[in-house]
Chains A and B, each alone.
Chain A
Amino acid sequence: MSTEARKPPPQIALKIRRVLGGKTGWNGIAVQFAFAAVLGWIAYEIVSNARANLENQHIAAGFGFLGNNAGFDVNQTLISYTGSDTFLRVFLVGLLNTLVVSVVGIVFATVIGFIVALCRLSPNWLLSRVGEIYVEIIRNLPVLFQILFWYLAVLAALPNPRQSISLLGIAFVSNRGLVIPRPIGESGFEVFVAVLALGIVASLALRIYARRALFQRGQMIRIWPYVLGLLFGLPLVTMLVSGLPFTFELPQLKGFNFAGGSRIIPEFVALTLALSTYTAAFIAEIVRAGILSVHSGQMEAGSSLGLSRGTTLRLVVVPQAMRVIVPPLTNQYLNLTKNSSLAVAIGYPDLVSVFAGTSLSQTGQAIEIIAMTMGVYLLISLITSAVMSVYGWRVSRSLGA
């Protein structure tokens, strides 16, 4: 009859048991390991089987094709690219094209979405009806049709290059896109850029200083004259000293098309327009829900302090609404990025079009290419989510929640 107390189990073993097995203890851990082993075995079987069969059927496998010459051209490249570059280069070109349409789309979608939401919430009958009609029409039509609509509408409305619409003789709009003068760096270019960067950094520092003065000492400092001087005055002075930092290459009509200048292709315009207006309809509803989630007392409190409706919205309501808005907003950003893969329908050279499309059928290596493409979309989405989570966390923190 020993009355010796039972020894408590060692802490580390206890922790492992709790993490892996939960309430079921060591049995649970065994089940977990068995399950992981089965999953691993299935994955291994699939991979090795597919490999063996690809080999049997003499289907090329592996990532060696990335070093081969692509042999086809792409009509919008942010980095230099010719037909004699490799498939890896094609991958980068497509990726950048996807990213640029996503980023520009997200910016426009957010701006339009906020404006439409504020319209819908406006006490003005006409404005709120316009907002409502916009949302109800746009979000109830399939996005592919909207892309095709904008593309064909944009194309149909524009003349051919020989009858292009001239904007002051330096920019031209036609169904080949918008051609604008291209800046070409001259001798004073580096100095100019350095001074401009300095001006931006100094302005930001000034702003931080002014905010701190406002919140800590209640002191209002008017900074805009200094900012103006830093952003425009300083570069202007540099220009006077070291001459024009760049000259413009003007587009000229040669043969079928414009030579020289930079060009924005209509496919890009149509895709950005369609994606941003479509996503904006959803964002508008999210923003509206967010703003309505803030108690109406806040608005009343603002106006009893003598703040205007706009100021109350900006300083009181929207910051509180952001907490509700940010998570679903992230979803919309992800949707927009993924929807950009519909680009192939209108010939915009995005990742899916040039890599998972053209490169795939040139090389026939479907598994590798689709895996890479899926991996990239996953990565873009995860990065977007991470950035938005950090932003959401900061919003909550600044509200003291």
Chain B
Amino acid sequence: MKRVTLALTLALAAGLTAQAADAQTLKTVKDRGMLSCGVSQGLPGFSSPDDKGNWTGLDVDVCRAIAGAIFNDPTKVKYVPLSAKDRFTALQSGEVDVLSRNTTWTISRDTSLGANFTGVTYYDGQGFMVKKSLKVNSALELNSASVCVQTGTTTEQNLADYFKANNMKYEVIAFGTNDETVKAYEAGRCDVFTTDQSGLYANRLKLANPGDHMVLPEIISKEPLGPMVRHGDDQWFDIVKWTLFALITTEELGVTAKNVDEKAKLENPELKRVLGTDGNFGEQLGLTKDWVVRIVKAVGNYGEVFDRNVGAGSPLAINRGLNNLWNKGGLQYAPPIR
């Protein structure tokens, strides 16, 4: 862990010399023939490698969508697994072009890290998981508990705030990676495991007896998760941002991976604009006219991505909730493509 940080820091110190002048991320990516995408070290549903070594998940699909838009080939992605504390350094140093790694959008991260959030791919909130045998029904009953947490996360600070605000004592044990944290929780080192609620459900699947553990009802924070890009390249920022909007817009319009070709033939003005048979929005982004078609063919629309990775069609079976479209009671909303 230390070596990775050290290497990245050195790369940052030395690489910054070249970085600022070289703000042409799109060109760099095209020349390389690969998108370099920072993901987690294994969080089911968001980014984790399967038994064949292929990465899957919601965050991974964002990378695939971007690669699809650029190369018309969603497989042209190099995944760089990053721990929570190494992720920003990897982005700053140019090790990755985009950081798509369940990262919470906060003001300090948006302003002091030299990076920008491009949108929200998942509206999350921090929760707690305990063993059912403890017979705890609320987070307010956790006074004097030991809490396992992954280091370098907003989770750590929310935890401190929550226990302080409710006048409760606790002991925090912070681990370097998600897996170490889960292992210590399972070994009984702590009573409570805390992270984003989606992460709790995902990690529960990793436990030996998922049924013995329960997620407490309290959500103690707002955790809007989204991808990040470096400062100083507005074109690249636009590409990543509008890739997310394209995913949401296509769900709104009912365009799916299967019917995208038929939809493109329809004489509907909005569909024609979005799918590039009319106008040249893709070219303005530095991509091709059919960029949205490429994205949808690569991963499907936002609803398909959600269902496949974390929703009803996945072992996690998380409700759409806040992540439903704005016109269906959720928060997912995209500015118009026109």
Q: Do A and B bind each other?
A: yes
> Is there an interface contact between A366 and B151, defined as CB atoms closer than 8 Å?
no
Option from B13, B88, B151 in Cβ contact (under 8 Å) with A344: B151
CB within 8 Å for A366 and B89 given contacts A53-B19, A71-B157, A256-B145: yes
- Residues of chain B within 8 A of A198, CB atoms compared: none
The complex places the Cα of A26 from the Cα of B302 at a distance, in Å, of 74
The complex places the Cα of A232 from the Cα of B261 at a distance, in Å, of 92
Q: Which of B60-68, B118-126, B181-189 contacts A (4 or more CB under 8 A)?
A: B181-189
> Is there an interface contact between A72 and B172, defined as CB atoms closer than 8 Å?
yes
> Is there an interface contact between B191 and A175, defined as CB atoms closer than 8 Å?
no
Q: How many residues on the A side are at the interface (Cβ–Cβ under 8 A)?
A: 52
The complex places the Cα of A341 from the Cα of B92 at a distance, in Å, of 24
Query: Does B252 make an interface contact (CB < 8 A)?
Result: no
> Is there an interface contact between B174 and A347, defined as CB atoms closer than 8 Å?
yes
> Is there an interface contact between A363 and B112, defined as CB atoms closer than 8 Å?
yes
CB within 8 Å for A266 and B172 given contacts A255-B145, A257-B145, A358-B151: no
Q: Which of A152-160, A278-286, A389-397 contacts B (4 or more CB under 8 A)?
A: A152-160
B residues 168-210 near A (Cβ < 8 Å) are 170-176, 180-181, 183-184, 187-189, 191
The complex places the Cα of A267 from the Cα of B174 at a distance, in Å, of 11
> Is there an interface contact between B112 and A364, defined as CB atoms closer than 8 Å?
yes
CB within 8 Å for A57 and B19 given contacts A257-B171, A366-B8: yes
Query: Does A46 make an interface contact (CB < 8 A)?
Result: yes
The complex places the Cα of A176 from the Cα of B147 at a distance, in Å, of 11
Q: How many residues on the B side are at the interface (Cβ–Cβ under 8 A)?
A: 59
> Is there an interface contact between B9 and A367, defined as CB atoms closer than 8 Å?
yes
> Is there an interface contact between B176 and A156, defined as CB atoms closer than 8 Å?
no
Option from A58, A73, A357 in Cβ contact (under 8 Å) with B114: A58
Query: Does A299 make an interface contact (CB < 8 A)?
Result: no
Option from A344, A358, A366 in Cβ contact (under 8 Å) with B2: A344
Query: Does B266 make an interface contact (CB < 8 A)?
Result: no
- Residues of chain A within 8 A of B170, CB atoms compared: 73
> Is there an interface contact between A50 and B16, defined as CB atoms closer than 8 Å?
yes
| Min C-beta distance of B114 to chain A, whole Å | 3
Interface centre among A53, A60, A259, A346 (most CB of B within 10 A): A53
The complex places the Cα of A254 from the Cα of B145 at a distance, in Å, of 10
The complex places the Cα of A156 from the Cα of B189 at a distance, in Å, of 9
Q: Which of A6-14, A110-118, A348-356 contacts B (4 or more CB under 8 A)?
A: A348-356
| Min C-beta distance of A255 to chain B, whole Å | 4
> Is there an interface contact between B188 and A160, defined as CB atoms closer than 8 Å?
yes
| Min C-beta distance of A350 to chain B, whole Å | 10
| Min C-beta distance of B254 to chain A, whole Å | 40
Query: Does B109 make an interface contact (CB < 8 A)?
Result: yes
- Residues of chain A within 8 A of B191, CB atoms compared: 256
> Is there an interface contact between A155 and B231, defined as CB atoms closer than 8 Å?
no
| Min C-beta distance of B8 to chain A, whole Å | 7
> Is there an interface contact between A72 and B157, defined as CB atoms closer than 8 Å?
yes
A residues 38-83 near B (Cβ < 8 Å) are 46, 49-50, 52-54, 56-60, 71-75, 83
What are 13 A-to-B residue pairs whose CB atoms are below 8 Å? A46-B17, A49-B16, A56-B232, A59-B112, A75-B173, A83-B164, A267-B173, A344-B2, A353-B176, A354-B151, A362-B108, A364-B88, A366-B5
Instruction: Name B's A-contacting residues (CB within 8 A).
Output: 1-2, 5-6, 8-9, 12-14, 16-17, 19-20, 84-85, 87-89, 92, 108-109, 111-114, 134, 142-146, 148, 151-153, 156-157, 159-161, 164, 170-176, 180-181, 183-184, 187-189, 191, 230-232
Instruction: Name A's B-contacting residues (CB within 8 A).
Output: 46, 49-50, 52-54, 56-60, 71-75, 83, 152, 155-156, 160, 175-176, 254-257, 259, 265-267, 341-342, 344-347, 349, 352-354, 356-358, 360-364, 366-367, 370
